[in-house]
Amino acid sequence: MPGDSEFQFELSVCQWVERHWPPDGTLADDTATIVARQLGTKHRRWDTVVVECDRHALRARAAFGERELDSDLLHVVGNAPAEWAWYRDALPEPGYPWRYVREAVHRAADRGLVERRRRGNRVQLRRKRPYPDWVDRVVAIENKPDLDRSAARALVDQLERDVALGLADEVWVATAATGGTVEPALLEAVPVEAGILVVEPDDATVAWHPGALAVDDPGTRIRDRPAGGDHDASAARFEYADADWKRDKRLAIAERAYGRGWRSYADSMRPDCRHFTLRDTASGVLPYCEGKACHQTAGECRGSCGEFEPEPPAWRTRGWPIDGGPGAGIKRLLARQRRRQRPGLEE
């Protein structure tokens, strides 16, 4: 299995997807991909997210900077007028107090996303450039390296909710190769619309192809469902998610993927520990702890770890041996690699 844990498996899947997506076929020349991890909605977080983009529009997106645009900024940037106008006349009704929109206008202007001026006591704005329509498809992948019967049963509820909502264009389950065939019982348990990807250290094969979900139609958000049984007569609770909400949420997820990618794992670990390093494996470059002689998880790599030793101060000063120390060098390396996947940012 790639890596020693579900965390390492997740990083392996992200690296494979970044190099080889789609798993069965090739991307069109005008299509690019962005890979991220641990993104989703308030009630659902996907392990891996693949955003398929129009390559030229993705380059135009780079003009708005490498940082993500949150939903408030998207409301401003996506609707900013070509000519000067009072922000309350120019922007659509937000559905929340206008004072928050005003704050977003100031944040957008401070980041150079729009132009701002004051006329009397009114704040006016004007766009600097149109915000591009750069997102084509959003694909969600759930990573389960040990997809046995019990793990498949635990996944069923989550996948059925994903299929009912239809927020992603496709839903996949990635599992580690075991040398045998995928059990028919697992195929029966997983919804037929979900694909199954069997991942090896340096390859992946499709065990079941996913179905395309209706992302442009209203979806069903399952709030609660009965456990079933002879004595359970309770009703399921659900609500509809309209197509506009889904469109806005997909763009917000894509923006977070653009800004964070999957290499942001170093932000939640301790690369400033003298034992932290990166190792090139058959599954890709993975974090490695020389103190414990293993591929550590994000939960283990903390200041409270018994093996944690801060880098000596001499490592972080005078540019020796690496400017800011090896930990800072690792973060810069991962940031450069992330930028290379964003056309227009590497220039």
At 73-131, the pLDDT tens digits run 999 999 999 999 999 999 999 989 999 999 999 999 999 999 999 998 999 999 999 99
Rounded percentage of the chain residues whose pLDDT exceeds 70: 90
**pTM for the structure as a whole:** 0.90
Section 306-322 average pLDDT: 75
Kindly report the backbone phi and psi dihedral angles of residue 40, in degrees, each rounded to the nearest multiple of 5, phi listed first. 165, -140
Q: Please tell me the predicted confidence (pLDDT) of residue 229.
A: 58
The answer to whether residues 161 and 222 touch, using CB atoms and an 8 Å cutoff, is yes
Strand arrangement, sheet containing 114-119? 85-86, 122-127, 114-119
| pLDDT confidence bin for 228, thresholds 50/70/90 | low
Q: Please tell me the predicted confidence (pLDDT) of residue 4.
A: 54
Q: Please tell me the predicted confidence (pLDDT) of residue 185.
A: 58
Cα 80 to Cα 86, 124, 128, distances in angstroms? 10, 10, 9
Q: Please tell me the predicted confidence (pLDDT) of residue 292.
A: 92
pLDDT exceeds 80 at position 216 = yes
Q: What residue spans define the domains of the chain?
A: 264-340
pLDDT exceeds 80 at position 230 = no
At 15-63, the pLDDT tens digits run 999 999 999 888 999 999 999 999 999 889 999 999 999 999 999 999 9
Helix (H) or strand (E) holding 138: strand 135-143
Q: Quick check: helix, strand or coil at residue 126?
A: strand
- Compute how many other C-beta atoms are within 10 angstroms of the C-beta atom of residue 89: 9
pLDDT exceeds 60 at position 259 = yes
Amino acid identity at 196 = I
Q: Please tell me the predicted confidence (pLDDT) of residue 183.
A: 58
Q: Please tell me the predicted confidence (pLDDT) of residue 222.
A: 85
CA 109-63-333 angle, to 5 degrees, is 110
pLDDT exceeds 60 at position 1 = no
